[in-house]
Structure 1
């Protein structure tokens, strides 16, 4: 499959409708993804990025239908991760001397993965590649989201090829941002930023300011996954700038797991207390054993506070709660408040354990939490509602 974006620019990537997990099993892709590769034809012909390894042969065969492979004068790899570079070994068998333009860190990455001595051309910020009436300007973008990442700007057409930045895991035959469902699009963009880029926000902020400071006109943003931004393309750049500033909305997310429904009932009654005190705040509840972890993290990203609940299990907590907190800790959220709760029948250490995990994960823990003995009775239910009311007043 190929798709002409404009004269001299053709999308030659792969839409992966079936993908349901990415980065191994770490990232859920409910709506599939795309691996965006672009063929740019001027006096010289350039291929920008390839596709994931399982589609390598299909990619090369389809590319050859577009152009005789020896006519490709240069290859640009914006990022060495295998979903961008996976088809290189298959392609380079056919055109082994074709130069590959990438950062020095990308050379290390590509050699480390494929163990090949290809014709690498190392570029850095400000370097250019003239292709005739236009030229590529390279901008290093380390830690968006690998050390080897770079952007490539095409003059004349005013296109920013942004690698993983501004992308999303979203399969659509419609291709463009203005044609797809806007709610779905921004949901996937938020999920991508929350789960992958949150701990790198300071790099995002710095790079956005640098790119904006170049004062380059941008008519289109072509990222490596998902749709192409052609309608008001800088809207996603503006959104990234907001997300990079310790983003939060008027939302409280309650994450819990339960054994015999005591902790579940506590979660629901605490939520009720929050809503009684403030009917404008958004409250969302997730059982961490039954909900997708990346979806939960997306909601934590949007929240100004979270509540974490588990029954006590042998002086600890249930594994799904411990697991989601390990994920959350690595994302290094800032300026979010939190508290813990949970039912118990024996010794009741679970709430203290959760409070410590919240502190270790960078949350501002606002109280000592709430413990409930066995299955909540009417008094315990009242205590949960009071706890919710008090929590929303102090966050």
Structure 2
């Protein structure tokens, strides 16, 4: 595959997106594996472009399209989602194909206007579509599905009925950069999908359960191909990721305790390690993550999968450590459901870290059934014994709270 070669997804259907090899941050979500912006071209009696790419990559997308068809011949442009990584090349496409008709959801139309009212929006022929609306391309039929809050109000998806291909936009994606385009060609794709879900879609789990039911009502089963806007296309076993979305949306967890912490002079770290030892001694899986040495996106996957989470912080300037504060802001915004928290930490002449964490979690309405633990300056033998005992208690709590 050369630099600008399109890829055939099915007869007459092509991937014309781009790979962003250097992407390392996606609006605060760490992406150590890079990413992609997927766009798809459907060739029939009419030509449809489904989604576009981030603006800096527009010319690369156009080079791929040009190897299949003159871009000015595009008849229809489908905007499944107005977020800039998908829509910011639309004005360029509409400039090249001014006679093309643009399709979006009702809220998509509003969003496109807000973004592009100074870039030609008033000249675009835009039609609003909703769930069940169809567009004939000739031999193929596109059906539109509103996917409200997956993960923006305007989100929708496009289904090619004859080929059974669901262009799912931000659902079922992953942030990875790879020259391969299909799930059976890439290792660890389910883990990447879980990380993506935990950092993008976790707050919208209740809507996802309704969405999965909606697919069934529309007659869309698991014998399909799923082509998301990020990452690889699910062709081998799409049922696997659909079923995983159901589990994640229901908040299913295993018997596991996650211990998160940061440390200044090692005191909080000693406490964290002793808590880990207590959990382990009780026969329950445990994970330990230092928040300055592990990326938060992977950490959120661990949060999603763990029913019990312990968080430890040293005190600095009478407050919790800055990494803990930042992570709590990030995590509470993603609103993981059904978690039980335990808080611990250390302080010198004045406390504040544990109290600050408690206040943050209480305001977000998270439960803390085990009393917090803190030590002054450093943990001594008695303190470490208390930490181990807490670990054992958290292990028992994880056994009670795990949901399969």
- TM-score bracket, shorter-length normalisation: over 0.9
Ranges in structure 2 where 5+ consecutive residues have no aligned partner: 399-404
2:120 paired with 1:150 = no
Q: Name 2:402's counterpart in structure 1.
A: none
Q: Matches of 1:138 and 1:312 in 2, distance apart?
A: 52
> The residue matched to 1:222 in structure 2 has which SS?
strand
Q: Matches of 2:10 and 2:165 in 1, distance apart?
A: 11
Q: 1:313 aligns with which of 310, 313, 316?
A: 316
Q: 2:275 aligns with which of 270, 273, 284?
A: 270
Residues 170-192 of structure 1, C-alpha deviation per residue, up to 9 Å, x if partnerless?
122221111111xx211211111
> Residue 352 of structure 1 contacts residue 368 of structure 1 at CA under 8 Å; is this kept in 2?
no
* 1:57-206 matched pairs, under 5 angstroms: 57-115=59-117, 116-117=121-122, 118-181=124-187, 184-206=188-210
> The residue matched to 2:315 in structure 1 has which SS?
coil
Q: Name 2:236's counterpart in structure 1.
A: 231
> Residue 339 of structure 1 contacts residue 355 of structure 1 at CA under 8 Å; is this kept in 2?
no
Q: Matches of 2:259 and 2:67 in 1, distance apart?
A: 52
Tell me how far 1:221 sits from its aligned partner.
0.8
Q: 2:58 aligns with which of 56, 59, 76?
A: 56
> Residue 44 of structure 1 contacts residue 132 of structure 1 at CA under 8 Å; is this kept in 2?
yes
Q: Name 2:401's counterpart in structure 1.
A: none
Over 3 Å counting, the alpha-carbon distance change for 1:61 and 1:393 in structure 2 is closer
Q: Matches of 1:394 and 1:46 in 2, distance apart?
A: 53
Please report the TM-score for the alignment, with normalisation by the length of structure 1.
0.95
Structure 1 segments of 4 or more deviating over 6 A? none
Tell me how far 1:205 sits from its aligned partner.
0.7
> The residue matched to 2:135 in structure 1 has which SS?
strand
> Residue 329 of structure 1 contacts residue 362 of structure 1 at CA under 8 Å; is this kept in 2?
no
Q: 1:381 aligns with which of 381, 384, 404?
A: 384
* 1:29-44 matched pairs, under 5 angstroms: 29-44=31-46
Residues 290-312 of structure 1, C-alpha deviation per residue, up to 9 Å, x if partnerless?
32122211111111110011123
Tell me how far 1:16 sits from its aligned partner.
1.3
> Residue 338 of structure 1 contacts residue 365 of structure 1 at CA under 8 Å; is this kept in 2?
yes
Tell me how far 1:35 sits from its aligned partner.
1.0
Q: Matches of 1:325 and 1:247 in 2, distance apart?
A: 22
* 1:279-358 matched pairs, under 5 angstroms: 281-358=284-361
> Residue 73 of structure 2 contacts residue 97 of structure 2 at CA under 8 Å; is this kept in 1?
no
Q: Matches of 2:314 and 2:63 in 1, distance apart?
A: 56
Tell me how far 1:313 sits from its aligned partner.
2.7
> Residue 308 of structure 2 contacts residue 397 of structure 2 at CA under 8 Å; is this kept in 1?
no
Q: Matches of 1:76 and 1:350 in 2, distance apart?
A: 49
Q: Name 1:215's counterpart in structure 2.
A: 219
Q: Matches of 1:65 and 1:215 in 2, distance apart?
A: 35
Residues 153-205 of structure 1, C-alpha deviation per residue, up to 9 Å, x if partnerless?
11211111111101111122221111111xx2112111111111111111111
Q: Matches of 1:314 and 1:4 in 2, distance apart?
A: 58
Q: Name 1:3's counterpart in structure 2.
A: 7
Tell me how far 1:323 sits from its aligned partner.
0.9
Please report the TM-score for the alignment, with normalisation by the length of structure 2.
0.93
Bigger shift: residues 341-350 or 202-211:
341-350
Q: Matches of 1:314 and 1:14 in 2, distance apart?
A: 46
Q: 2:19 aligns with which of 7, 15, 39?
A: 15
Q: Matches of 1:329 and 1:107 in 2, distance apart?
A: 31
Ranges in structure 1 where 5+ consecutive residues have no aligned partner: none
Residues 21-63 of structure 1, C-alpha deviation per residue, up to 9 Å, x if partnerless?
112xx01111111111111111111111111111112222332
Q: Matches of 1:269 and 1:11 in 2, distance apart?
A: 51
